[in-house]
Amino acid sequence: MKLTTNEFQRLANSPDKNEIVNVLQELIRFKTVNPPGNESECAGYVVDYLRDAGATVATFEPEKGRTSVVATIRGSERSPSLLLNGHMDVVAAGEDWTIDPFEGVVQDGKVIGRGAADQKSGIAAAMVAAKAILESDVKLKGDLIVEAVADEESLGPLGTRYLLNKGIKADMAINTEPTNLRIEVAQRGVLWLEVKTKGRAAHGGRPWVGISSIYQMVDFLTRIKKLERDLSSKKHPLVASPTINVGTIEGGMRINVVPSSCTVKVDRRLIPGETSNDALSEIRTVLEQASEADTNFKAELKVLLSMDPFETPKDHPMVTALQEATMFVSGTPAEIAGEPIYFEVTRLIDKPTSTSLDVVHHEIERKLRRDHLTSMSNSKLSV
Q: Write the CA distances from 213 to 50, 109, 206, integer angstroms.
A: 57, 56, 15
118 is catalytic: no
Identify how many contiguous H helices and E strands the chain contains and give both numbers: 9, 18
Q: Residue 106 phi/psi, 5° resolution? A: -95, 120
Q: If pLDDT is split at 50, 70 and 90, which confidence band does 349 have?
A: confident
Lowest-confidence pick of 110-124, 284-298, 357-371: 357-371
The terminus-to-terminus CA distance of the chain in angstroms comes to 7
What is the C-alpha separation between 249 and 262, in angstroms, rounded? Answer: 7
DSSP H helical segments within 32-119, as ranges? 40-53
pLDDT in tens, 159-217: 999 999 999 999 999 999 988 889 999 999 999 999 999 999 999 999 999 999 999 99
Strand 172-175 versus strand 355-358 pairing type: parallel
What average pLDDT score do residues 62-74 get?
98
DSSP letter (8 states) at residue 4: P
Annotated catalytic residue within 147, 152, 219, 282: 152
Residue 39 clears pLDDT 90, i.e. is over it: yes
Find out whether 70 and 57 touch, Cβ atoms under 8 Å: yes
Q: Write the CA distances from 4 to 55, 292, 309, integer angstroms.
A: 22, 65, 33
pTM over 0.75: yes
CATH class, domain 5-187+310-381, is: alpha beta
What average pLDDT score do residues 59-87 get?
96
89 is catalytic: yes
Assign a CATH topology to domain 189-307.
Alpha-Beta Plaits (3.30.70)
Domain regions of the chain by residue span: 5-187+310-381, 189-307
% of the chain surpassing 70 pLDDT = 88
Residue 228: in which H helix or E strand, if any? helix 213-231
Residue 374 clears pLDDT 60, i.e. is over it: no
Query: In this predicted structure, what is the pLDDT of residue 348?
Result: 80
Residue 12: in which H helix or E strand, if any? helix 5-12
Annotated catalytic residue within 39, 89, 147, 219: 89
Q: If pLDDT is split at 50, 70 and 90, which confidence band does 16 have?
A: confident
State whether the Cα torsion 14-18-21-27 is positive or negative.
Answer: negative
pLDDT in tens, 272-310: 999 999 999 999 999 999 999 999 999 999 999 998 999
Residue 362 clears pLDDT 50, i.e. is over it: no
